[in-house]
Each structure stands twice: as structure tokens, then as C-alpha cells.
């Protein structure tokens, strides 16, 4: 059976209906576009707003409801645009304001809404406010968190807080004061008790709402307010604590008043504009506070993303998430991948197994009550790219501990004499001062030769990051990085450790790479976890059931044929992709627990040393490789020439063009799932208001390793076991991530698969 889709026709009608209801966000499917890596219109190797606009028809055909754009504002690009120097202007790297306006208009014509990022916790060090603060302008430092240091001479940081990127969260300036930066030193934290900060962001939000955007994804929505007195935490490796226990710099009660004010602002505009919190909280109940009726509309549910491939864990996360948000009358959100975490094909084991699980997990996600977020390229089944050459990487934490000083920004001259701008003192206490030209500690011979190390982990171990990154000046940040080679240039770290580790995780050296390394010992337990080499393109499992099943009209479709009837249309091995990161070692180890905008477990790289293990691993670039559109070789239609991160040569078969019309492909599976999600009345949003049973969802008894639940007229089965499972058929199959055998009375569920049923 096949699942040819007609989602384009359904998308327009659906968008019109939800516009009228005003509750479009309650069950919306929102597609994240990482602007740098979506489509390049001008041939500089970097994606831009015109490129995004040119590819909007793909999103309309896919069947999503809205597009979320990562930051495109003026920025030195020290952290991929999450260091904003001008919140009201488009960086020339991505276009101009006219391009933004035209993109919003074009999206609306296709029935797509547009959500943009806002970054309120911190600015860029190049923001005029911070430049004025460094220059000693009276009152300028009050907008940020400057403090005197501890010790007799003030040479120690004001407290023991650590940067999410590793190292102290404080940098000292020449006059002896320190400023707080929970992320990179180029991202100084704002002081939200200052009235000018509040007024400025009200103005920023209005600027983009007036341009026509439909809402905001609020970066680090849990971080703007810090505990009174900035108290010590008393322990290290603080990045591993985020989302697991209270911290004085995150999830303080004071943030909710900010979000209430923003909700009032959003409600003052027509068209149901929304706010989405990127918030980490210690519990589902704390996270639900962000989506109370007078606060934001949605909050990202990272517990689902972090959940291992285990039916018990999945059911617990689903139940607790639904219970918490339903209690405050809000929808739950579901997400599997984003621009800061290892792509879920790879997290689920990589290769054919990882792809099968990723397809099944996507169908599970899209069948749950609430709203779902898709990350660009997941509809193509893209794996993580683990073998990027070091010279092409741009994640600021990749060169953690190598920053000597922040360049003192020039300040526009003001009338009359003024104080000279003080410089930044370097290094921070206890840090080495390697020359800027020194090789990265993660650099490896570009031939890929040498032993392939095996990284270990322990429960709750966070892949590390040390002190801040190398400074990136504006001219350097705007020059596209051209890959020198597409060969894997770094060690392919090996998976290990704990109950989530997959089979085959022992050392597997690349050909000619030298002897296998010795097993890790306990002191090395700070490194990221990795599995065996990623293939990423195993058989594209068949989705069940023809077009008649989509609308429910006509006779029941023929059951899917035996698995051997569906020959794979993808190569079994993605040569050259290197080892892919493995989910293991506790719920926070997978993504490198921390704020989604600034965090995420990356791919590849050598094991990290203990001093670097307090923050993230600095390898987020692997999930940001530009996606393939068409063609037999890079850049696969991404742009006229090249791409800022090199694309694997094996991605030709994963492009949009290659998968379109192929009933075995992941792209057509996503298109069919989104079409059915709209056509079947039992799917979509839960009813508003408290309810112990959102939208009639009910778990049914099922064999070990299988989840089975129903919603009105609909059932979903998920088989997490590595072998087929037989059970009574819960209805008529309408879509499956792998071929299903059924005689109408019983069904044989394939391993690592999800099936949707109508009854």
C-alpha cells in the first residue's frame, strides 16, 4: 500500500478554518527553519531570507501550519545570531527588512504563519548599550549585571555561577568590575529590573508585530530574572542541573510577570499572535506555569525530546506532560529535534535502525494531543553529520577555553570629552592563555588517521565545555566558511555506557585509522556518548494504505504486503558520515541539558577533558548542515555554489527531489501523516480547560514493548521491540512507518514501527 498525499489542498482549507477560530496554535504543526542552512539565494554559501521565501511552497505541500525562523537580526554571529546587536534590523548576511516583509507576505499567501525568535536574556557585546557600558557612559552598566569581584582585590568572580558553554559565567573589565554572561562572553546578560530594558523589548515586539509576524519564540524564556543577591550554587557542572533542579539563574518566579505583560501586548493585536517559551524547568508542573491562561501560549516540552527509546519512559513523559498542561488549560507541545541537539535519527541509534525509530517516533508525536514542532530536514530522515572538518565549525563552544579577550568595541564619539573605553582583562582566573593561532584542542589530522577514541559517560554526565570561545569580529563572522575537504577530519567518538547504549558500540576504527583504543576509565567519563558508525539511510520503510484511507471513503485498502516486497530505495551505508552520537546515560545526557537556544549535544569530536566538561560539547554544527533539495552532488540545490558547512556526498538520495513521489520515502510519510492529522477528527488539539483525559486519549493493554492508545475514531500502536509483535488489530490501518501484515483480525507489527488505525 502507498500513501500518496494531497496535503496542499488540505493545508489551505485548514489554515482558513483555524484563522476563523483563533486557536490555530492549539494543534499547529510548526516547522523550524534554521535560516543559515535552509536555502541560499545569493551564492555566498549561507542561507538567507530570500532563499527561505523561495522554498515556502515545500512547506505548504508538506502540510505544516507555521514556520519558525531562527534569528536573522544584525549580529556578529558569535553564537549563530543569538547574540543580537540590533533587534530591529536584518543582518546583511540574510538580506534586509524588505526581504523580511516579503517573506511574511508570501507565507501568509500560502496559508502559513510566521514566528520569529526574540532573544531577551542577553544582547551582543556589540550592542550599543553594552558598548556604552564598556565606555563608561553614566548609567549604561545598570542595564546589565555588572558587579564587583570577591577577594581583597576583587580578582575573583562575584559568585560561582558557570557559563552554559563552560567556565565562569563572569568576565572582568579593565576597571575591575565583572559582568554576567550565562552563555558566551560575547552575550552579556541584561538586568530585567531596569525599566529601560522592559520598555525596549516592548518596542521590539511591537516592531515585528507591526510588520506582520504571528508570534515569537522566546529564547531562554526562563532566564531573564536572577535570584536576589545572586547566591552561590555550591557545586560545579551546573549545565547538567538545568531542567532537573532549581537554580538561582533560571526559572525564577519573576519571569512570569514579564510573560504576563507580553501576553497582554500580544492580545492587543488582531489575528491571535502567540508567544512560545523556550524554557527549562525542574518539573512538568513548573513548566506549565509558563502557559497559564494569562501567560504564554506554548512552551517547548524537552522531556519528550530527551526520552529514550523505551515504552515505559515514553508513556510516563506523555502522561505527565498532558496532565500538567491540561491542568492550566493549555496544549502540550512535542518536539524530537532542533538546531541545538543531535538529530533523532542518530540519537535513536543511527543507520537503518535509527531511521526506523525516527519515523515511528515522528508518527507517535503527530498523533498526540497538542502542537508539534518539526526541525528542517527531519522530514527527509537526515542523520547527524559527525565528521565536519574543524575549520568549518562555528559553534562557539567548539573552541571553549581559547578566548584571550573580548575586543573592546569602538564607541561612536559623543559631544564633549568622555572616559576612554576600558578593555577586557584576560585570562579569567585559572585559565591558560594559548595564542589565538594555536591549534584547537579538538583538531585532528585531516586525513582522519589515528585511533578512534571511545567516549564514556555516567548518569547525568554532561558533555563538556570549558571557558568561552574565540572572539569573532563582525567582518570575520560575515565571511562564509568554505570547506576545504569533505573527508571526515576528526576522531569518530564511540558510543558507550548505560542502559540506553545500542548494540555494536565497541571501538570501530576507520580504515587505516590505527589500532582500536583502550576502553575508557572513570576519570574520562565526561565525554559525549557515541554509537557505531551512522548509516542514516537504511531501507525507507513503506507507509501503509492508499489515498482512500485518508478521507475514510471507499472500501478498506488492501493490507500491506510482506516486507520483502518493499525493496529499500536508499543505500544501506552512508559512507563518510562518521560515528553518530548515542542517546545514553540519563535524560539530560542526550541533548547536553540546557537551554535549547544555546545548548545541545553535538556530534563527533574527541573525548573532552575534565576542565572542559562543565558545559556543552561545542559540536552543534552537525545538526545545522544545509539540507539537500535536488541534484546528485553538493550543494544539492541549497544555493548556486557551496555551503557554509559541507554536506555529505551520500545525501543525494535524501534530497526533496529524490524522495518526492517515492512511497517508501520519509518525506512522503511525513506528508501523509500531516494530511491524515488534519483529515481525521480524532487528532489535533485537546479541548481547552482542565480534564484528566485530554481529547478522549486512553491507553489500552498491550504486549511488552508496545504502546497502544486510542482517541476518538483513531488508534495508535508503537512497537519499540527489535522483533515483530502480534496482537488483535485495533481497527483498519491507515498509515504505518513500516509494512504491516494484517488479516483484519490480527496484526503483525514490524519492529521499531508505528501504525495509525481508524475505527
**Cα(225)–Cα(190) distance, integer angstroms:** 9
Catalytic residue flag (residue 278): yes
**Cα(261)–Cα(180) distance, integer angstroms:** 25
- Directed axis angle between helix 666-679 and helix 351-367, to 10°? 10
List 219, 340, 378, 510, catalytic entry = 219
Pairing assessment for the beta strands 333-335 and 371-375 based on DSSP bridges: parallel
The C-alpha cell of 656 is what?
Answer: 526533496
Contact yes or no for 665/677 (Cβ under 8 A): no
Catalytic residue flag (residue 431): no
Buried b (16+ CB within 10 A) or exposed e, 717-742: bbbbbeebbebebbbbbbbbbbbbbb
> CA of 162: how far to CAs of 26, 34, 65, 169, 435, in Å?
36, 27, 38, 5, 24
Helix (H, G, I), strand (E, B) or coil at 35: helix
Buried b (16+ CB within 10 A) or exposed e, 299-313: bbbbbbbbbbbebeb
Of the candidates 323, 292, 488, 311, the one whose C-alpha atom is nearest the C-alpha of residue 390 is 488
The C-alpha cell of 525 is what?
Answer: 567519563
What is the full DSSP assignment across 616-633? --S-GGGG-SPPP-SSSS
Which residues lie closer than 8 Å to 689 by C-beta, 6 or more apart?
329
Of the candidates 639, 610, 641, the one whose C-alpha atom is nearest the C-alpha of residue 458 is 610
Helix (H, G, I), strand (E, B) or coil at 301: coil
- Cβ-in-10-Å burial (0-12, 13-18, 19+) of 633 comes to exposed
**Cα(716)–Cα(730) distance, integer angstroms:** 9
The C-alpha cell of 222 is what?
Answer: 526562563
The phi and psi torsions of 7 (rounded to 5 degrees) equal: -65, -25
Is it true that the peptide bond before 747 is cis, omega within 30 degrees of 0? Answer: no
What is the full DSSP assignment across 337-396? --TTS--HHHHTTSHHHHHHHHHHHHHHHHHSSSEEEEETTGGGTPPP-----GGG---G
- Cβ-in-10-Å burial (0-12, 13-18, 19+) of 320 comes to middle
In the numeric block, the cell 547527524 is attached to 384
- Cβ-in-10-Å burial (0-12, 13-18, 19+) of 516 comes to middle
List 48, 177, 278, 752, catalytic entry = 278
Sheet holding 215-218, edge to edge: 298-299, 274-277, 215-218, 113-118, 66-69, 29-33, 371-375, 333-335
Other Cβ atoms less than 10 A from the Cβ of 12: the count is 12
The phi and psi torsions of 515 (rounded to 5 degrees) equal: -70, 155
Helix (H, G, I), strand (E, B) or coil at 68: strand
> CA of 90: how far to CAs of 81, 85, 98, 101, in Å?
11, 10, 9, 11
The residues with which 718 forms a beta bridge, in sequence order, are: 707, 754
**Cα(479)–Cα(204) distance, integer angstroms:** 28
The residues assigned a catalytic role are 219, 278
Amino acid at each position: 500500500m502507498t500513501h500518496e498525499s494531497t496535503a496542499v489542498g488540505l493545508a489551505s482549507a485548514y489554515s482558513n478554518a483555524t484563522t476563523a477560530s483563533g486557536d490555530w496554535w492549539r494543534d499547529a504543526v510548526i516547522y523550524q527553519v534554521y535560516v543559515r542552512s535552509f536555502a541560499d539565494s545569493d551564492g555566498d554559501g549561507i542561507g538567507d531570507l530570500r532563499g527561505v521565501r523561495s522554498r515556502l511552497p515545500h512547506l505548504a505541500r508538506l502540510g505544516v501550519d507555521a514556520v519558525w525562523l531562527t534569528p536573522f537580526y544584525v549580529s556578529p554571529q558569535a553564537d549563530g545570531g543569538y547574540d543580537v546587536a540590533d533587534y530591529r534590523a536584518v543582518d546583511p548576511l540574510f538580506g534586509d527588512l524588505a526581504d523580511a516583509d516579503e517573506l511574511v507576505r508570501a507565507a501568509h499567501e500560502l496559508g502559513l504563519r510566521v514566528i520569529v525568535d526574540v532573544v531577551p536574556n542577553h544582547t551582543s557585546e556589540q550592542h550599543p548599550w553594552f558598548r556604552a557600558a564598556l565606555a563608561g557612559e553614566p548609567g549604561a552598566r545598570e542595564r546589565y549585571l555588572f558587579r564587583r569581584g570577591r577577594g581583597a582585590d576583587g580578582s575573583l568572580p562575584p559568585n560561582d555561577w558557570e557559563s552554559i558553554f563552560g567556565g565562569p559565567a563572569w568576565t572582568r573589565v579593565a576597571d575591575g568590575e565583572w559582568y554576567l554572561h550565562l552563555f558566551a562572553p560575547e552575550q552579556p546578560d541584561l538586568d530585567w529590573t531596569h525599566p529601560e530594558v522592559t520598555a525596549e523589548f516592548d518596542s521590539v515586539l511591537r516592531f515585528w508585530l507591526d510588520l506582520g509576524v504571528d508570534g515569537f519564540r522566546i529564547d531562554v524564556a526562563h532566564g531573564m530574572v536572577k535570584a536576589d543577591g545572586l547566591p552561590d550554587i555550591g557545586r560545579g557542572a551546573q549545565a547538567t542541573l538545568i531542567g532537573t533542579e532549581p537554580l538561582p539563574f533560571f526559572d525564577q518566579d519573576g519571569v512570569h510577570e514579564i510573560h504576563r505583560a507580553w501576553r497582554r501586548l500580544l492580545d492587543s493585536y488582531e489575528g491571535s499572535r502567540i508567544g512560545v517559551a523556550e524554557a527549562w524547568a525542574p518539573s512538568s508542573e513548573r513548566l506549565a506555569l509558563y502557559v497559564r491562561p494569562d501567560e504564554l501560549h506554548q512552551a517547548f516540552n524537552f522531556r519528550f525530546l530527551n526520552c529514550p527509546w523505551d515504552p515505559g519512559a515514553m508513556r510516563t513523559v506523555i502522561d505527565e506532560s498532558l496532565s500538567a498542561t491540561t491542568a492550566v488549560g493549555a496544549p502540550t507541545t512535542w518536539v524530537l529535534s532542533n538546531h541545538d541537539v543531535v538529530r533523532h535519527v542518530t540519537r535513536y541509534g543511527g543507520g537503518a535502525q535509527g531511521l526506523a525509530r525516527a519515523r515511528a517516533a515522528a508518527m507517535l508525536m503527530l498523533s498526540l494531543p497538542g502542537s508539534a514542532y518539526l526541525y528542517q530536514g527531519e522530514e527527509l530522515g537526515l542523520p547527524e553529520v559527525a565528521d565536519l572538518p574543524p575549520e568549518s565549525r562555528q559553534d562557539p563552544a567548539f573552541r571553549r577555553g581559547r578566548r584571550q579577550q573580548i575586543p573592546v568595541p569602538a564607541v561612536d564619539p559623543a559631544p564633549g570629552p568622555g572616559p576612554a573605553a576600558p578593555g577586557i582583562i584576560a585570562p579569567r582566573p585559572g585559565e591558560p592563555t594559548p595564542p589565538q593561532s594555536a591549534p584547537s584542542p579538538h583538531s585532528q589530522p585531516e586525513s582522519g588517521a589515528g585511533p578512534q577514541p571511545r567516549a564514556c559517560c555516567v548518569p547525568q554526565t554532561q558533555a563538556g565545555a570549558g571557558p568561552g570561545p574565540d572572539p569573532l569580529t563582525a567582518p570575520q563572522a560575515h565571511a562564509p566558511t568554505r570547506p576545504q575537504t569533505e573527508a571526515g577530519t576528526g576522531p569518530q567518538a564511540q558510543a558507550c555506557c548505560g542502559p540506553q547504549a545500542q548494540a555494536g558500540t565497541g571501538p570501530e576504527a576507520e580504515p587505516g585509522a590505527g589500532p582500536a583504543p583502550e576502553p575508557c576509565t572513570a576519570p574520562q567519563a565526561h565525554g559525549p556518548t557515541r554509537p557505531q558508525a551512522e548509516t542514516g539511510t537504511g531501507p525507507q520503510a513503506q507507509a501503509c494504505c492508499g489515498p482512500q484511507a485518508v478521507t475514510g471513503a471507499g472500501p478498506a485498502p488492501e493490507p500491506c504486503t510482506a516486507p520483502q516486497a518493499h525493496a529499500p530505495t536508499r543505500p544501506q551505508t552512508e559512507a563518510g558520515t562518521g560515528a553518530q552520537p548515542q542517546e545514553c546515560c540519563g535524560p539530560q545526557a542526550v541533548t547536553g541539558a540546557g537551554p535549547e537556544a544555546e545548548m545541545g549535544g553535538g556530534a563527533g569530536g574527541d573525548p573532552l577533558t575534565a576542565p572542559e566538561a562543565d558545559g556543552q560539547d561545542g559540536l552543534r554544527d552537525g545538526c545545522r548542515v544545509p539540507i539537500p533539495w535536488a541534484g546528485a552532488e553538493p550543494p544539492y540545490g541549497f544555493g548556486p555554489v557551496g555551503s557554509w558547512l559541507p554536506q555529505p556526498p551520500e545525501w543525494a538520495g535524501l534530497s526533496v527531489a529524490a524522495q518526492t513521489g517515492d512511497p517508501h520515502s520519509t518525506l512522503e510519510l511525513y506528508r501523509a501523516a500531516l494530511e491524515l492529522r488534519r483529515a481525521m477528527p480524532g487528532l489535533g488539539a485537546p479541548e481547552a480547560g482542565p480534564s484528566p483525559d485530554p481529547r478522549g486519549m486512553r491507553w489500552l493493554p498491550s504486549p511488552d514493548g508496545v504502546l497502544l492508545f486510542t482517541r476518538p475514531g483513531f488508534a495508535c500502536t508503537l512497537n519499540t521491540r527489535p522483533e515483530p509483535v502480534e496482537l488483535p488489530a485495533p481497527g483498519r490501518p491507515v498509515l504505518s512507518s513500516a509494512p504491516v501484515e494484517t488479516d483484519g483480525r490480527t496484526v503483525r507489527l514490524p519492529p521499531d514501527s508505528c501504525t495509525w488505525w481508524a475505527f
